[in-house]
Amino acid sequence: MIDFRYHLVSIVAVFLALAIGIIVGSTAIKGPLLTGLDRASQHELQANKSLYAHNSQLKDEISADEKFAQAAEDSLLRGLLAGQQVVLVLAPDADSATVDGVTAALQKSGAGVTGQVVLSQQFFDTGSVNEQALKTTAAKLAPVGLAQPNSAPDEQISGQQAAARLIAAAIVNKDGTPTLTAKAGQQVLDGFSNAGFLQVNGKDSAILAGQATMAVVVLPATVPPAKTSGPFNSALVSLTQDLQEVSKGAVLAGSLKGSGPRSAIDAVRGGVAGVPLTTVDNAETVVGQIVVVQALSKLLTGAQPTVYGVRPQTVPSPAPSASPSPSASPSQPSRKKTRR
């Protein structure tokens, strides 16, 4: 039988061996290990410093671009939309800086701003009760003979599509001949407003300053929740498409934060929406606000819808690229005539 002292000696021997191993091992690898860790730490430190410096440089460049845009805005926009009337259609929680900046840019371009149509969150509710309420309201307000929109029917947003067709006809026209009379257009807006689907902000009242010839639709300041983003974006895209069809042009604009993944602009840019629209994804900046006006101006010339901005798959600006100057032909050396 093994006595207790044997167990005790065995346990002491094991711990002694461990202690000796740790001491010997740490002494043997202490130099190389610490040197390697120190080198890795220095490398990461330098990498971080380089990234911080690059980030600071990019911020300085953005700031310089914004200051240049602010200084050049008047000359870049002057007269681009002279004689045009533009209405702003705002999604719920639209970014106020974007709205104010776009409005100012439109006015600097010579356009008149007829006012704002602010859509409520209720407008985008796709529950069966609300869908029926939208369709019922639209049916009561729709005049006889109003043309159907070209947008493809979508059962999930059928109420929003019925309402969008009427709202577009009430606030914009293409050739100076309104689809609806001023009285009928105001009745449409009042009807949807009284039902809680929108609000009209005119210059001095809840009445727009006449019909517009163009429109800017502004996204929410942040992207919709994943659960509701699909139908929300479809409804907003459908409304923008209707505005585009019955006016001289419409632009879907938003801030960078609001135009990211799951946004309506992202759906258009990625082809998910299946509809070609002109979009601007950085309209909270002065540069983006200039692009909004330039994009509307391009649409007046019959240009195709284009996605503008700073995200992947976008065009940075509607401004035409400078044509390369033709290289001068090498001059032939003159021949001197010799006298005979």
Q: Residue 50 has what pLDDT?
A: 78
**Residue 188 sits in the same domain as residue 92:** yes
Query: Is residue 197 domain-resident?
Result: yes
**Residue 61 sits in the same domain as residue 158:** no
**Residue 179 sits in the same domain as residue 238:** yes
**Residue 192 sits in the same domain as residue 136:** yes
Structural domain containing residue 34: 1-77
Q: Write down how long the chain is.
A: 340
Residue at a domain's end among 77, 109, 141: 77
Residue at a domain's end among 77, 105, 140: 77
Query: Is residue 323 domain-resident?
Result: no
**Residue 56 sits in the same domain as residue 135:** no
Residue at a domain's end among 77, 105, 134: 77
CATH number of the domain that residue 110 is part of: 3.40.50.2300
Residue 148 token pair: 């159907």
**Residue 96 sits in the same domain as residue 145:** yes
**Residue 127 sits in the same domain as residue 111:** yes
**Residue 19 sits in the same domain as residue 86:** no
Q: Provide DSSP, 153-192.
A: P-GGGHHHHHHHHHHHHHHB-SSS--SS-HHHHHHHHHHH
Q: What is the count of structural domains for the chain?
A: 2
**Residue 116 sits in the same domain as residue 214:** yes
**Residue 42 sits in the same domain as residue 185:** no
**Residue 93 sits in the same domain as residue 188:** yes
**Residue 46 sits in the same domain as residue 177:** no
Q: Are 229 and 262 in contact (CB under 8 A)?
A: yes
Query: Is residue 317 domain-resident?
Result: no
25: left (phi over 0), alpha (psi -120 to 50) or beta: alpha
Token look-up 């035409």 returns 320
Query: Is residue 329 domain-resident?
Result: no
Query: Is residue 46 domain-resident?
Result: yes
Q: Provide DSSP, 259-311.
A: TSTTSHHHHHHTTSS----EEES-TTSHHHHHHHHHHHHHHHTTPPP-EESSS
Query: Is residue 43 domain-resident?
Result: yes
Residue 67 neighbours by CB under 8 Å, 6+ apart: none
Q: Residue 18 has what pLDDT?
A: 79
- pLDDT per position in the chain (340 positions), as tens? 556 666 676 777 777 777 777 766 666 556 676 777 778 888 888 878 778 777 767 666 666 666 666 666 778 899 999 999 999 999 999 999 999 999 999 999 999 999 999 999 999 999 999 999 999 999 999 887 776 666 678 899 999 999 999 999 999 999 877 788 889 999 999 999 999 999 999 988 889 999 999 999 999 999 999 999 999 999 999 999 999 999 999 999 999 999 999 999 999 999 988 899 999 999 999 999 999 999 999 999 999 999 999 998 899 888 754 444 444 444 444 444 444 4
Query: Is residue 313 domain-resident?
Result: no
Query: Is residue 127 domain-resident?
Result: yes
Q: Residue 264 has what pLDDT?
A: 97
Nearest in space to 220 (alpha carbons), one of 126, 120, 92: 92
